[in-house]
């Protein structure tokens, strides 16, 4: 059984700019399908925002490289600079919390702008690795004499 969210709920999350709710939706959706880059960017940057130097101790090298690639791809160069600064400074580095607080709203707005490009992906229901909409149209096109289990 797949967990799904009503498309209207997802729309409301975008209207309210509820970052935590969208992070949850994306995390749940990631269990059934590979995420588009817009969704990966959203979750990874949100996880980094407000963190401290220990974030860099916990992140795998390949994940760090992927976050950098995504920030470049989506032209978040000012954020990328701070992301890289935070890592190179390590535990002796300056506290980025003031920078986070000053830029949080703008970064969230940018993340939502990018994530909005993936809204149809987030609304699509996946059932055990298959596209629900494709399965549903297939079951509707089968004649009544060939009963197809309801999806």
Provide DSSP, 11-78.
HHHHHHT-HHHHHHHHHHHTTTSPPPHHHHHHHHHHHHTT--THHHHHS-HHHHHHHHHHHHHTT-HH
* pTM score, whole prediction: 0.78
pLDDT tens per residue across span 122-144: 998 644 444 444 434 333 333 33
User: CA–CA separation, 66 vs 77, rounded Å?
Assistant: 14
86 pLDDT tier (thresholds 50, 70, 90): confident
Query: Going by DSSP bridges, is the β-strand pair 130-131/126-127 parallel, antiparallel, or unpaired?
Result: antiparallel
Q: Alpha-carbon distance 135 to 69, whole Å? A: 35
> Residue 81's CB: how many other CB atoms inside 10 A?
11
pLDDT per residue over 101-119, tens digit each?
Answer: 899 999 999 999 999 999 9
The overall average pLDDT reported for the chain is: 81
Q: Dihedral sign for Cα 143, 148, 150, 151, please.
A: negative
Q: CA–CA separation, 97 vs 76, rounded Å? A: 18
């Amino acid at each position: 059984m797949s967990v799904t969210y009503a498309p209207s709920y997802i729309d409301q999350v975008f209207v309210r700019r509820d970052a935590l709710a969208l992070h949850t939706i994306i995390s749940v959706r990631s269990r059934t399908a590979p995420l588009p880059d817009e969704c990966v960017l959203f979750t990874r940057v949100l996880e980094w925002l407000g963190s401290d130097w220990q974030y860099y101790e916990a992140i795998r090298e390949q994940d760090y490289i992927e976050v950098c690639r995504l920030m470049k791809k989506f032209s978040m160069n000012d954020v990328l600079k701070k992301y890289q600064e935070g890592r190179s400074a390590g535990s002796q580095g300056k506290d980025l919390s003031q920078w986070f607080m000053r830029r949080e709203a703008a970064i969230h707005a940018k993340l939502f702008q990018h994530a909005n490009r993936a809204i149809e992906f987030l609304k699509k229901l996946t059932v055990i690795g298959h596209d629900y909409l494709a399965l549903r149209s297939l079951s509707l096109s089968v004649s009544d004499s060939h009963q197809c289990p309801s999806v």
